[in-house]
Amino acid sequence: MNIEQTREMFFEDYAKVFKVLSSPIRLKLFNFLSFSPRTVEDCAQKFNQSIQNISLHLMTLRNAGILEVDQVKNFRFYSLASSELTKQISKMLSVTNDRITPVDWETTVDFKQIAFATKKGKVTLLDLRDFNERSYLPVPHSLHFEGSLKNIDNYLDENSLGDKEIILFCKGKMCERLAHFANYLKPHYNVKTLSLSSFELKELIAQFKGN
């Protein structure tokens, strides 16, 4: 392959990737699957889509090398492919300051400091993700809450968190659950948010292991 052919193939390959990602539902699927492997049924329920429609989107992402599939008994679990491509896509989605919660609610402390302060009990990391997501990317020393908003006050009282600094985190900058809880808790508690992509979450986890 000569220089001109290599150059043309480079741009053609990336044009295909950008075309695949031009669909909002595929970007949503990318973000959703980055936090935990999911079945077609899980994805269809999450985004209120038919299984047939979601299957087509997942197949397109897989054919582009963005997703991979594992067969577990009778279920097929989709997850992000472990590649430089998926890392770069994730970075593109997280580089903007756009988010559902106000920017000034976001903690400015770096990952190393967060890990240290959490271990020392100076702050509480409160994980709002579901069981599958916590199991896939577990954050050491964090507490977790999977209940509804109406039960959060009792949970904080039971764990004596009323007067402590709390850092809420869930699934990135566009996580509705994080936004709802932050909006409710912010006026009454010492709360900050931590809006991380799955790759940033892995970096935080690494800090806990390194300290």
Amino acid identity, residue 184?
A: Y
The pLDDT tens digits for 115-146 are 999 999 999 999 999 999 999 999 999 999 99
CATH architecture type of domain 3-93: Orthogonal Bundle (1.10)
> What is the spatial distance between Cα 129 and Cα 119, in angstroms, rounded to a whole number?
20
* pLDDT higher at 99 or 81: 81
DSSP string, 176-196: HHHHHHHHHHTTTS-EEEE--
The pLDDT tens digits for 35-62 are 999 999 999 999 999 999 999 999 999 9
Read off the pLDDT band of 91 (50, 70, 90). confident
Minimal CA–CA distance to 199: which of 44, 94, 61?
Answer: 94
Report helix angle 198-210 to 111-119, nearest 10: 50
Give the pLDDT confidence score for residue 211 in this predicted structure: 57
> What is the spatial distance between Cα 96 and Cα 122, in angstroms, rounded to a whole number?
29
Which residue carries 């963005």 as its tokens?
66
> What is the spatial distance between Cα 153 and Cα 162, in angstroms, rounded to a whole number?
9
Prediction pTM value: 0.89
| The CATH homologous superfamily of the domain defined by 103-210 | Rhodanese-like domain (3.40.250.10)
Bridging pattern class, strands 123-127 and 67-72: unpaired
The pLDDT tens digits for 148-180 are 999 999 999 999 998 899 999 999 889 999 999
> What is the spatial distance between Cα 138 and Cα 10, in angstroms, rounded to a whole number?
37
∠ CA(35), CA(109), CA(180), 5° rounding? 50
Same fold, 3-93 and 103-210: no
Q: Where are the domains of the chain?
A: 3-93, 103-210
Contacts of 108 (CB under 8 A, 6+ apart): none
* Tokens, residue 31: 């973000």
> What is the spatial distance between Cα 77 and Cα 67, in angstroms, rounded to a whole number?
10
Share of the chain above pLDDT 90, in %: 72
Facing residues of 123 across strands?
Answer: 165
Minimal CA–CA distance to 106: which of 92, 116, 91, 96?
Answer: 96
